[in-house]
Structure 1
């Protein structure tokens, strides 16, 4: 079976028993899956939001909105126009987002990620964790590390589903970096950019949101 993404797990969880069989059979086929963050449909807004997170320059959002408006004016296909408009809506909403809610109050050192670190075994299956950024910083426990994962889906993710992304950030950082840093669950964050909803792994630790990664994998293995 090829690597399984968090999005794969969520899509599987949402399907009926009958549809799950076909879904799992497709997972066994080697193919290039859709981008974990949400595919090309959202790439414009996700890219701009990621750059804004890193630079804290909100003008980048306005620049991208202006470019998208220009594309709408010359696009002929309604579907394409709608795609651009949805990306604009996301960027407009994100302008009101408080970055302090999802960033440590410290200078961040962004760490280059390696693909071979991102796939690891959970319950006998190769699961991929691919956050947008991971970063180290000085915190309460001296050298700390965290990560952010911006995702998008047309009708959005539930908080429990977002928790799967934040948990995978934590598992990934624990596996690769725990010998060098304290992995802070408060700063393992997944954000659904379609509605600005965010979930920190700390919320799962505190039992505010259930952990369903392992139970979903067990369900998938039974199909």
Structure 2
């Protein structure tokens, strides 16, 4: 087995494949094989909508959404290539949903301090899992600081609640590995947002049994094919 990184979305894609396709899929993950980027993190296709939503959340300011809609609409009007116009239109359709969205719904505190992101690769069960939250933040009193993070994900095929649960569990482990010495990691503030459906879950929902915990079983299955 030789992997340089394993995007979380690849774990989710892997779960949906037949045994035959899992073999091919695992081979493509290996070093030296072409591997696509983690579309759950945005990728080039969705970067316009993801980046605007990410900025709007950080600043708690919906003008980032309306400004981006205007920018992408101009690109759409100027471009003649059908496939590119479709990409712009899909980003605009997502952004339209967030023009009047209340981003405080995803903020555990009115006063967040945004923190640098640690190294994105975390070894879990012998696999180099790539974790790419949009923001890591701390909040609370000086002597009782909590930390959380938010990760905006998207997949045209659509995520199930259990898929988002996998994301949230990797996010919690990531924060725990790098930041638990100085902060309390709050499971309720490890937030995953499917920007296509506007659904969000936290790792707290996995801990409480509302969403199935599938991460360890999924990683074990991937290793069997590598």
- TM-score in terms of structure 2 length: 0.92
Question: Is 1:88–2:86 an aligned residue pair?
Answer: no
Report how far residue 91 of structure 1 moved: 0.6
Report how far residue 105 of structure 1 moved: 2.0
For residues 184 and 114 of structure 1, the distance between their equivalents in structure 2, rounded to whole angstroms, comes to 17
Structure 2 gaps of 5+ residues are: none
Task: Give CA deviations for 1:83-118 in whole Å, capped at 9, x if unaligned.
Answer: 101101111112343322211123111111132xx3
Structural RMSD (CA): 1.7
3-state SS of paired residue (1:211): coil
Aligned length: 221
Moved over 4 A (4+): none
3-state SS of paired residue (1:90): helix
Report how far residue 127 of structure 1 moved: 1.2
2:216 paired residue number = 214
Contact 1:94 1:193 in 2 (8 A): no
After superposition, residues 4-23 of structure 1 pair within 5 angstroms as: 4-23=6-25
1:46 paired residue number = 50
Contact 2:7 2:37 in 1 (8 A): no
Of stretches 154-163 and 32-41 in structure 1, the one that deviates more from structure 2 is 32-41
After superposition, residues 1-223 of structure 1 pair within 5 angstroms as: 1-30=3-32, 31=34, 33-35=36-38, 36-115=40-119, 118-138=120-140, 142-223=144-225
For residues 99 and 188 of structure 2, the distance between their equivalents in structure 1, rounded to whole angstroms, comes to 23
For residues 62 and 84 of structure 1, the distance between their equivalents in structure 2, rounded to whole angstroms, comes to 14
Structure 1 gaps of 5+ residues are: none
Report how far residue 132 of structure 1 moved: 0.8
